[in-house]
Amino acid sequence: MDVIVFNRSRANARKVILETKHATWLSYCTSINSNTKLSIIWETIKIFSGSLTYASIPQFENNRIVASNDQHKGNMLGNQFEAVSSSMNLPTVL
């Protein structure tokens, strides 16, 4: 008995999700006009299709200090690059 209720509930949930996706897509399509940038249209299509992913910078540490966010990671990379660059004996270009 519980299996039947579960399967019906799952089927109903799938139906609601598909109907909502369809309604959202139709709403988006009707919002597009001649002033809509093509890049925004393609980005939205990629989001809807699930193929758009954002890569994040992996977590790392320097001198036992762990970078907590992307800005902190960028600052740590910049400081490390500065330290390596300043210790190199590069020829001066005039």
Split into its structural domains, the chain has a count of 2
Mark whether 63 and 42 lie in a shared domain.
no
What is the per-residue pLDDT across 12-51, written as a single tens digit (0 to 9) for each? Answer: 999 999 999 899 889 988 999 999 999 999 888 888 887 7
pLDDT for position 15: 96
Report the 10 Å Cβ neighbour count for 76: 17
- In a 13 Å sphere around the CA of 40, the CA atoms on its Cβ side amount to 9
What is the per-residue pLDDT across 45-80, written as a single tens digit (0 to 9) for each? Answer: 888 887 766 666 667 777 777 777 878 888 888 888
Residue 43 is part of which domain span?
Answer: 2-49
How much is the pTM? Answer: 0.46
> Is a pLDDT exceeding 70 seen at residue 4?
yes
Asked if residue 17 belongs to a domain, the reply is yes
